[in-house]
Homo-oligomer: A and B are copies of this chain.
Amino acid sequence: MADFTSDIAIARAASKKPIMEIGARLGIPSEHLLPYGHDKAKVSAEFIAASKGGRDGKLILVTAINPTPAGEGKTTTTVGLGDGLNRIGKKAMICIREASLGPNFGIKGGAAGGGFSQVVPMEDMNLHFTGDFHAITTAHNLLAALIDNHIYWGNELNIDIRRIAWRRVMDMNDRALRAITCSLGGVANGFPRETGFDITVASEVMAILCLATDLKDLEKRLGNIIVGYRRDRSPVFARDLKADGAMTVLLRDAMQPNLVQTLENNPAFVHGGPFANIAHGCNSVVATTTALKLADYVVTEAGFGADLGAEKFFDIKCRKAGLKPDAAVIVATVRAMKMNGGVKKDDLAAENIDAVRKGCANLGRHVQNVKKFGVPVVVAINHFVSDTEAEIQAVKDYVATLGAEAILCRHWAQGSAGIEDLARKVVELAESGQAQFAPLYPDDMKLIEKIETIATEIYHAGEVIADKSVRDQLRQWEEQGYGHLPICMAKTQYSFSTDPHLRGAPTGHTVPVREVRLSAGAGFIVVITGEIMTMPGLPRTPSSEKIFINDQGQIEGLF
């Protein structure tokens, strides 16, 4: 890619339009757009409330094969497809997640697409943006402070300090905060206990904000958060601490979707960013449902590969928000096919058609899985300069055998001009009326059976292993009225199995359930099948060392 200008150079050269103009094109009057600078704005709650009831546009999900170190370009394709749909004359907008700030100072930033398919302002999106994540951090930590404060002043609710489930959060990669003891230093500082910090995107408040339909619903869900348990194991809720009102006040602005634009001046909502393992990994329901009222086509994406991201998008977000996706795009790259076919990262440049064919099994599995939800599928081959014609043809031929089509997309290098074919195919699928969306399992299925259904139907596993304690816990939750909740699987994103090294399309493997957690506010049961890191660390040489403001006042090193 050496011949291409860098993402940041392209983003800096962008000719942005005033955000009020972008909003006006969507029919949002300026008094309902709260600007943050001249290139970002939040849509008012009043406008959103008033827009309910109108006709919905078509909803297009962009998902992907299992990620590999080669990169697949899911966000880039989401942005490109939105631009492509606008290019062929459709009123389209995109909905993507906000970036977590902390990790940008560790390895690399950039959650705004790439090449000529980016959302701008890139710098802001990778820094504080409109402050949503800071608001989530604050609301989360207010609840934490209220818990320890309640105990300090007498613990009327009889919270067992060994069973406090609510940790603190920070939008930072800081391994030193993973496990701490707090309230040390004597009587004035409270009762010492063990706890720790997670990164903000792992907060249940983040998941709640992304699933809530409005401020009232937000407040109710916040109140439903289980902060810990008494000695008799009965739960203590955030509402017992009267925390829900103040948390809602802190999140008032954060609940409103952020409007920005693509490099081609098309509208984009960038709002919310829950973890894709212990949470559902999609942008906010408010952004998506609002976008569907404003545009004829809404292109959105889900986290990780389709086994995790699309499944949760369908079974959690769409189920709960009543969304009915009209088509899905599965992003693949020739390089990723090769890696799935056994090629090492250093050998990716050499043509290897056999490896491509072998790796296609992973793609095929995702295509078939997505169809199980009743959503028609097209494959987008995100073009890299090293791809050969023969390799591309191998992918196309393979996908054709599945009764689907794979379309080469050059949006990274060409912007919307490089993705017209995909845009036309998406329109064809969406207008065909083929879509018959249904979640994978019904609400009233037993929790353990829901897990087994995902494991067998989506992961093609042979069995689910869960200790008696896990099964007892699931049964207890069913008795307490949580049995109707959907499942949020926390599994490695690199494989259909729980072994990150097992690429391709394994079958008959075992899914061991380590632990289950109830996110009663968000409204799902988290099922943990492996080591899940909720607070990242920084690398030996953090990227922060090279981040600075240059003499032209531009930020260097963030991307």
In the complex, A546 Cα to B172 Cα: how many Å?
A: 31
Residue A34 at the B interface, CB < 8 A?
yes
- Whether the Cβ atoms of B252 and A549 lie closer than 8 Å is yes
- Whether the Cβ atoms of B175 and A152 lie closer than 8 Å is yes
- Whether the Cβ atoms of A138 and B171 lie closer than 8 Å is yes
In the complex, A547 Cα to B139 Cα: how many Å?
A: 13
In the complex, A541 Cα to B457 Cα: how many Å?
A: 51
Which of B135, B152, B181 is close to A128, meaning CB atoms less than 8 Å apart?
Answer: B135
- Could you give 20 example pairs across A and B, Cβ below 8 Å? A34-B37, A128-B131, A128-B138, A138-B172, A141-B170, A142-B544, A145-B172, A145-B176, A149-B542, A152-B175, A153-B540, A178-B189, A181-B184, A242-B544, A242-B545, A243-B544, A245-B546, A245-B548, A245-B549, A249-B547
- Whether the Cβ atoms of A553 and B127 lie closer than 8 Å is no
User: What residues on B are CB-neighbors of A142 within 8 Å?
Assistant: 105, 172, 544
User: What residues on B are CB-neighbors of A173 within 8 Å?
Assistant: 145
User: What residues on B are CB-neighbors of A149 within 8 Å?
Assistant: 174-176, 537-538, 542
Q: Mark A19-37, 1 if CB is under 8 A from B, else 0.
A: 0000000000001001111
- Whether the Cβ atoms of B175 and A184 lie closer than 8 Å is no
Residue A111 at the B interface, CB < 8 A?
no
Residue A208 at the B interface, CB < 8 A?
no
Residue A558 at the B interface, CB < 8 A?
yes
Residue A203 at the B interface, CB < 8 A?
no
A243-263 residues with Cβ-Cβ distance < 8 A to B are 243-246, 248-250, 252-253
In the complex, A537 Cα to B244 Cα: how many Å?
A: 20
- Whether the Cβ atoms of B134 and A246 lie closer than 8 Å is no
- Whether the Cβ atoms of A185 and B189 lie closer than 8 Å is no
Are A148 and B176 also in contact (CB < 8 A) when A131-B131, A544-B246 are?
A: yes
Which of B175, B219, B538 is close to A188, meaning CB atoms less than 8 Å apart?
Answer: B175
- Whether the Cβ atoms of A152 and B537 lie closer than 8 Å is yes
What is the total number of copies of this protein in its complex? 2
Residue A101 at the B interface, CB < 8 A?
yes
Residue of B nearest to A250 (CB): B127
Closest Cβ of chain B: how far from A228's Cβ, in Å? 14
Q: Mark A449-464, 1 if CB is under 8 A from B, else 0.
A: 0000000000000000
- Whether the Cβ atoms of A248 and B549 lie closer than 8 Å is yes
Q: Which residues of A are at the interface with B, using a C-beta cutoff of 8 A?
A: 31, 34-38, 45-46, 101, 105, 127-128, 131, 134-135, 137-138, 141-142, 144-146, 148-149, 152-153, 168, 170-185, 188-190, 194, 196, 215, 219, 242-246, 248-250, 252-253, 537-538, 540, 542, 544-549, 553, 555, 557-558
- Whether the Cβ atoms of B245 and A146 lie closer than 8 Å is no
Which of B34, B45, B253 is close to A38, meaning CB atoms less than 8 Å apart?
Answer: B34
Closest Cβ of chain B: how far from A536's Cβ, in Å? 10
User: What residues on B are CB-neighbors of A215 within 8 Å?
Assistant: 549, 553
- Whether the Cβ atoms of B542 and A146 lie closer than 8 Å is yes
Closest Cβ of chain B: how far from A335's Cβ, in Å? 31
In the complex, A46 Cα to B553 Cα: how many Å?
A: 10
- Whether the Cβ atoms of B177 and A182 lie closer than 8 Å is yes
Given contacts A31-B38, A134-B137, A180-B181, 19 further A-B pairs with CB under 8 A are A35-B35, A36-B36, A127-B250, A138-B171, A141-B170, A144-B174, A145-B176, A148-B175, A149-B175, A168-B177, A175-B189, A180-B180, A219-B549, A242-B545, A245-B547, A245-B548, A246-B548, A248-B549, A252-B549
